[in-house]
Amino acid sequence: MSTQFFVQPIPEISVEELDELLQNVPSIQLQLIDVREPQEVAMAKLEGFINYPLSEYSQWSEQILVQLDLEQETLVLCHHGVRSAQMCQWLVKQGFTKVKNITGGIDAYSVLVNSQIPRY
């Protein structure tokens, strides 16, 4: 089998686990990335997340490697968990060692954790 088709499994974190972390772990110990578009973030967001829209990859792809710590816990969010999974794969390929995809994304967070976060 060709290795170019192999996709490394990415660890996942539930929105409930995320909420617990956000309440109990100092924010300096977590790198929080939101890969949604700016207009999506304007509709619904979680505090502390840095927005790196996938569509703007060429604008931030080199910067992210100096702005973030490759060995710090890195959690990635999108709307439902698909784009964030793509970002997680890219981060791992860049050498990030503690990457987790937030399953269900901000939509699941709104449904299961905080209904004050608007759904769209």
Residues carrying an active site annotation = 78
**83, containing H or E segment:** helix 82-93
Other C-beta atoms closer than 10 Å to the C-beta of 47 total 7
The CA-to-CA distance between both ends of the chain, in Å, stands at 40
Asked if 101 contacts 11 with a C-beta cutoff of 8 angstroms, the reply is yes
Check if the beta carbon of residue 80 is closer than 8 Å to that of residue 44: no
